Amino acid sequence: MKIILFSIISILLLTSFNKEKALGEVNNVISYANNNSNKNNYINNIYTGLKWQCVEFARRYLIINYNITFDSIDNAYNIFDLPYFISLKNNMMIKINKYVNGSKTPPMKDSLLIWNRYYKNTGHVAIITNIDNDIITIAEQNYNNNSWNGNNYSRKLKIVFNNGYYIMNNNILGWINYDKI
């Protein structure tokens, strides 16, 4: 009896650890809790990244909503080093505009917000879902694994407009605006 009970408990525990926990959704893209997976993820046979890292979420967002992606990178902060994104329709280069934190050009809805390398030694990336005066809402994966509570964003960040410059938290490297095709 003890062996059967132990087996049932083990099966329940294993299946609960293997379930993917959805945190929220924005523009038909689901954010998942990261369970330290090292498995590759694909959508329509297109590589999006390691499940469920922040870079994977950003790629999947761009693929689903704009049919564009970006080259392979080592860390999230390396997205800021890329010279262009790539159209999945015709494999052409997509123009991107990069703005460092403290720029005169504001981030926009759907901009990629990039954290610098000092943030967890890898940086971070999120999608800006809305800007309302001095508050930016963002969608992301692999930040804190908290539910979005029915919102289309994971959290809010403050942005300050000071003497013509848009300034955010010191860990923010900058943002990338891109041509939507």
Element holding 107 (H helix, E strand): none
Q: Which residues contact 7 (CB under 8 A, 6 or more apart)?
A: none
- Candidates 26, 29, 54, 125; catalytic one: 54
Q: What does the DSSP assignment read for 149-175?
A: TT-S-SEEEE-EEETTEEE--TTEEEE
Catalytic site includes residue 54? yes
- What does the block give as tokens for 93? 């280069």
Q: What are the φ/ψ torsions at residue 31 (nearest 5 degrees)?
A: -95, 135
Residues catalogued as catalytic: 54
